[in-house]
Amino acid sequence: MSEPIGRKRWAIAEGYIPSWSNGPEPEFLSHETASILNVSDEDAHVTITVYFSDREPAGPYRLTVPARRTVHQRFNELEDREPVPLGKEYASLIESNVPVVVQHTRLDSRQAENALLSTTAFADDA
Amino acid sequence: MSEPIGRKRWAIAEGYIPSWSNGPEPEFLSHETASILNVSDEDAHVTITVYFSDREPAGPYRLTVPARRTVHQRFNELEDREPVPLGKEYASLIESNVPVVVQHTRLDSRQAENALLSTTAFADDA
Amino acid sequence: MSEPIGRKRWAIAEGYIPSWSNGPEPEFLSHETASILNVSDEDAHVTITVYFSDREPAGPYRLTVPARRTVHQRFNELEDREPVPLGKEYASLIESNVPVVVQHTRLDSRQAENALLSTTAFADDA
Amino acid sequence: MSEPIGRKRWAIAEGYIPSWSNGPEPEFLSHETASILNVSDEDAHVTITVYFSDREPAGPYRLTVPARRTVHQRFNELEDREPVPLGKEYASLIESNVPVVVQHTRLDSRQAENALLSTTAFADDA
């Protein structure tokens, strides 16, 4: 049995999916990802709410991170509700019923050579 | 009603706005950003104080992050007081009346191909 | 005598070793690293468990970080069990018998100019 | 009077100063930096201890971060003891008598286009 690690509420204040890309897809498609790790023995039911600068939030988008699995969810591919717009600033709140760990990554391939950023997201105390 | 997430005091120890840029503006203008997320139902009144290596701090610069919104504030565009100088090392303290989440990002486009960095800022316990 | 710093359980939710590389090895071989610092006066016996999106976890891989040393462990070089596959999303759990500090880094050299990302991993409370 | 923010003990598990550089110095010299912010009204007396994979630690290197100032200390320029070697893996422990905030950054200019990484360092509880 795996002891859980992580928290149930996470936030990523930075969000921006570049509007265009260079190179073969899907590897070099400009994208942002919330990588979610669930080491517990229970499936994690996760919601992502997307915040903007000029309108009410979108979502919640729903996904499942099965027990002992990771899901690297591209914001570009959130599809059960409206798609996340390209070239627009956003932020996100990730909530789960079991503790998970969240990391934020962007690959920017607008130019011939790609650029990367990544950070562990902010974990709520609760 | 949204349960708040975050803290009221944040710090970013690294700061540096490159002095020049390549590529179309505003996307490829070299810049640094403090992305601030306020998931609460109350507007966040935020102050940013900018610290230097060789002089007293500048600011506080004031901005509002409305309820359920994110503001990606470019340090280049802090304008109610003196502008943050380019090509000079600085750091910043971000204070809010309601809990917010802060992430720091730089796009460096001094060369033909841009480079990116990002990190969740340091959150005070309080 | 060195006072320890760190935690005994860490997680890295993002993991991806690019499938190809440009430039002289080993410096420019695309890789991901878990950098582990042990400032204590006791050797750290560390296990790494690797999680995937579509199968049960691999590992635990075992390594030792001697007292007052750092080990920058490339995931590409975990070899006492099955190798970590290239071009496939994964995540990892790092556990130690003494407190250590863990940081995650990727060098992506799939293109002529390399890209870098790095973040302090998520530290469990315990 | 400024209320302090930060912690007194920090660690950076990743460290690596690339052995060569491209572009005009000092901006494009490959380097690693510990950016330290002291918002308090008291000078911070800081020591940096550098850890390696194959030998005893170097240091402590000493510096002062004056009250209400930031110092972006390049590891390349630690000079009161032996210089930090290039092209060699290391890690670091930063200790201060007053609370400070520490962020780690690398500029890698070994290729024509530079790459960047940055992360808030790991803060001890104490």
Shortest Cα distance, chain A CAs vs residue C60, angstroms: 12
Kindly determine whether residue C23 and residue D121, on different chains, have CB atoms separated by under 8 Å. no
Shortest Cα distance, chain B CAs vs residue A30, angstroms: 13
**Amino acid in the structure at residue D22:** N
B residues 100-119 lying closer than 8 A (beta carbon) to C: 113, 115, 119
Q: What is the pLDDT along chain D (126 residues), one digit of tens a residue?
A: 678 999 999 999 999 887 766 777 777 677 889 999 999 999 999 999 999 999 999 999 999 999 999 999 999 888 777 898 888 999 999 999 999 999 998 877 676 667 788 899 999 986
Mean pLDDT calculated for residue range C74-98: 91
A 10 A CB-CB count for D110 gives 17
ipTM: 0.92
How much is the pLDDT for C117? Answer: 84
How much is the pLDDT for A112? Answer: 65
A residues 44-83 lying closer than 8 A (beta carbon) to B: 49, 51-54, 56-57
How much is the pLDDT for B112? Answer: 65
- Greater model confidence, A25 or B53: B53
What is the secondary structure of A34-77 as a DSSP string? EEEEE-SSS-EEEEEEEEESSSPPEEEEEEEE-TTEEEEEEGGG
Mean pLDDT calculated for residue range A76-86: 85
Kindly determine whether residue B118 and residue A111, on different chains, have CB atoms separated by under 8 Å. no
**Res. B110: pLDDT tops 90:** no
* Nearest-angstrom CA–CA distance, C78 and C65: 14
Mean pLDDT calculated for residue range B105-109: 79
Containing A25, the helix (H) or strand (E) segment is: none
DSSP secondary structure code for residue C82 in this structure = S
Of C5, C35, C112, nearest to D124 by CB-CB distance is C5
Which residues does chain A have within 8 Å of residue B114's beta carbon, measured at their own beta carbons? 108, 110-111, 115
Looking at the complex, does the CB of residue B20 fall below 8 Å from at least one CB of chain D? no
Which residues does chain D have within 8 Å of residue B113's beta carbon, measured at their own beta carbons? 113
**Res. C106: pLDDT tops 90:** no
Kindly determine whether residue B93 and residue D37, on different chains, have CB atoms separated by under 8 Å. yes
Kindly determine whether residue C119 and residue A114, on different chains, have CB atoms separated by under 8 Å. no
**Res. B86: pLDDT tops 90:** no
Which residues does chain A have within 8 Å of residue C52's beta carbon, measured at their own beta carbons? 69-70
Mean pLDDT calculated for residue range A97-104: 96
A 10 A CB-CB count for B113 gives 23
Looking at the complex, does the CB of residue A5 fall below 8 Å from at least one CB of chain C? yes
For A105, nearest residue in chain C (alpha carbons): C14
Tell me: the pLDDT tens digits for A46-63? 999 999 999 999 999 999
In this complex, the chains that touch A, judged by 3 or more CB pairs closer than 8 A, are: B, C, D
Kindly determine whether residue D118 and residue B118, on different chains, have CB atoms separated by under 8 Å. yes
Tell me: the pLDDT tens digits for D6-27? 999 999 999 988 776 677 777 7
Torsion of CA D51, D57, D62, D66, to 10 degrees: 30
**Res. C108: pLDDT tops 80:** no
**Res. C111: pLDDT tops 70:** no
How much is the pLDDT for A113? Answer: 63
Q: Is residue C110 a contact partner of residue C120, using CB atoms and an 8 Å limit?
A: no
Full-model pTM: 0.94
For D107, nearest residue in chain B (alpha carbons): B115
Please state the φ and ψ torsions of residue B101, each to the nearest 5 degrees: -120, 135
How much is the pLDDT for C113? Answer: 62
For B89, nearest residue in chain D (alpha carbons): D72
**Res. A42: pLDDT tops 90:** yes
How much is the pLDDT for A5? Answer: 96
Tell me: the pLDDT tens digits for B1-53? 678 999 999 999 999 887 776 777 777 677 889 999 999 999 999 999 999 99
Kindly determine whether residue A113 and residue B113, on different chains, have CB atoms separated by under 8 Å. yes
Q: How far is CA B117 from CA A70, A115, B16, C97, in A?
A: 24, 9, 11, 32
Mean pLDDT calculated for residue range A107-118: 74
Positive or negative: CA dihedral B126, C5, C9, C12: positive
How much is the pLDDT for A57? Answer: 96
**Percent of chain A having pLDDT more than 90?**
62
The SS3 assignment for C61 reads: strand
Which residues does chain A have within 8 Å of residue D113's beta carbon, measured at their own beta carbons? 113
Tell me: the pLDDT tens digits for B65-79? 999 999 999 998 897
